[in-house]
Structure 1
Amino acid sequence: MDRNFARALALVLKHEGLWSDHPDDKGGATMKGVTLANYRRYVKPSATKEDLRKITDEQVATIYKRYYWDAVRGSDLPSGIDYAVFDFAVNSGPDRAIKYLQAVVGAKQDGRIGPDTLAKTRNMMRATIINGLCDKRMAFLRRLKTWPTFGKGWTSRVSGVRSEALKMAAQPDTPPPVVKEFEKEVVPERVETKVKEKSDLWTKLTGGGGIAALGLGGIFGMDWQAIVAGGVVLLVIILVLLLLRSQIVAAVRQIKSEVSG
């Protein structure tokens, strides 16, 4: 499926390498697996080998996506099978890769992936299809005249494709949700406001300094607003009591004066 394209392309490019211009390679000059003929066909008709050497990553991805991945309907194939067919298509052509897939699943080998091929592909075990396709691919490669020259590299490539495709097939189709990590914990607005109010009040009470020097690290945990409010109430009570005391004393003095008089 399309979520596998980037991963599949990265794996293909590992096998394709960078610049190659082997005299026994019928494809001729290639850069990241893109032949000069295909570069002229899809990007620049008058391209030279030097132009091909400068192919951009965007151009490479576009060519592989449009003319190989989409050609084998990679977005409609199950995970693992999509990569195995895609790599086969890049190495030996989309038409051949599709026909070999159809041979494995028992569909008509017309080189076109339609509803019947997709249905039969989805009804078979992925590992069975991947192993069958890789086996048939190796049999095809061994029949080529260039096997003595490239056989070792092809064997390594197909072995790698088989291994990675089976890993992809074993993974769930729906990837787990991405959990974003935050740099700091989000503090609820109400709590954050309360903390700020306490801090501002303490700053006013202390004149804005001296707390660290006093070593009162735990002082911020106290509810200074409540303490101040309680202090005010206590002060009022004391003042009332003092007022009452003065009135009582005055009344007692007046009574004593009247009695003595």
Structure 2
Amino acid sequence: MASGNLPACLKVSLVHEGGWSDHPKDPGGATMKGITLATFRRFKPGASKTQLRNISQTDVEFIYRGGFWSPIRGDDLPHGVDLATFDFGVNSGPSRAVRYLQAVVGVKADGKIGPGTLKAVILADKKKTIQRLCAKRLGFMQSLKIWNTFKRGWSRRVADVEAMAVAMWLAHAGTPPASRKIELDVEADKAAGKARTQEQGAGGAAGGGATVGGGDAAITGEPNWLLIAGIAVAVIVVVTVLVMKSRQNKDRAAAYKAVAAAA
């Protein structure tokens, strides 16, 4: 179990949370080290933005433990799975992160980690659990209206957390550094291969869509503009999805490569 692993997980999350942010399109509003003003005020009623901006490290760790780590029962989750769940919770709420974790391991998704959830997580393949949870997390993010504003940063963050979480599990499982590096490099190559396939698929779809309508026009003498328009829309959707997935797998490949190099 990951008892005492909060500092390591928090270190990863804070790299992505960064420092001060008050983006007008961020529904969370003013944020410092991932802590929103609303969250800070639950611990310090009436706190100002200035106080949030100058929050102490002691308060940061206290808030993350009480607000995010304890609700996901981080001390009881396996190494790596704790990081993937914790970082998801920091971004999108602990209850949602737990529900998605429960969906991954095949138990009732009620947002609360009990004995049944813990047993399922412990028995599951840890690497696959981490990867599937991160994939579901990214899928949730893509459903948000603000996805287009934050998609690049979010995609890289989830990729980095996935790679770091897998490396964390491998290290805890006793995998020697050399073997760990090989396994991480393999994951990087898998992601890069998927990216290439998706990129080629996008190119093929775009090229195929450009020729649609020629046969119909040759038979009738007139192009079927309604058919062409409908197919063009479908092609655009397919190409967009494949390009997006290719970009995400490139992010995953880069993240695994970086973590492998560090290993």
* TM-score, normalisation: structure 2: 0.65
> Which residue of the partner structure matches residue 20 of structure 1?
21
- Partners of 2:124 and 2:7 lie apart in 1 by 25
1:76 equivalent in structure 2: 76
Q: Which amino acid aligns with 2:59?
A: Q
Q: Give the match for residue 61 of structure 1.
A: 61
1:122 aligns with 2:122: yes
C-alpha separation between the residues in 1 aligned to 2:157 and 2:5? 19
Q: What's the CA shift for 1:30? A: 0.4
Write the distance in 2 (CA, Å) between the matches of 1:103 and 1:87: 17
Structure 2: which amino acid aligns with 1:64? Y
In the alignment, the residues of structure 2 paired with residue 127 and residue 137 of structure 1 have an alpha-carbon distance, to the nearest angstrom, of 15
User: Cα deviation per residue 1:75-110 (whole Å; 9 max; x = unaligned)?
Assistant: 000010000000000000001000000000001011
1:41-71 Cα distance to aligned partner (Å, 9 max, x none): 12x1111111111100000000001110111
Structure-to-structure mapping, 1:71-220, within 5 angstroms: 71-172=71-172
Give me the CA root mean square deviation. Answer: 1.3
Runs in 1 of length 4+ with deviation above 6 angstroms? none
Q: Which amino acid aligns with 1:171?
A: A
- Per-residue deviation at 1:174? 8.0
Query: What is the number of residues matched between the two proteins?
Result: 174
Greater relative CO (CA pairs within 8 A, separation 6+): 2
In structure 2, the residue corresponding to 1:25 is in which secondary structure? coil
Task: Tell me how far 1:2 sits from its aligned partner.
Answer: 2.5
- Aligned counterpart, 2:178: none
Please tell me the residue identity of whatever aligns with 2:133. Answer: L
Q: State how far apart, in whole Å, the 1-side matches of 2:151 and 2:162 are.
A: 16
CA shift for structure 1 position 170:
0.5
Identify the structure with the greater helix proportion: 2
* Partner residue, 1:31: 32
The runs of 5 or more residues in structure 2 that have no matched partner are: 176-263
- Segments of 5+ residues of structure 1 without an aligned counterpart are 176-261
1:170 & 1:123 partners in 2: Cα distance?
16
TM-score normalised according to structure 1 size = 0.65
Shift of 1:3: 2.7
Percent identity, aligned pairs only, is: 49
Deviations for 1:127-153, whole angstroms, at most 9, x for unmatched residues?
010011001001100111001100111
Which protein is bigger by CA-based radius of gyration? 1
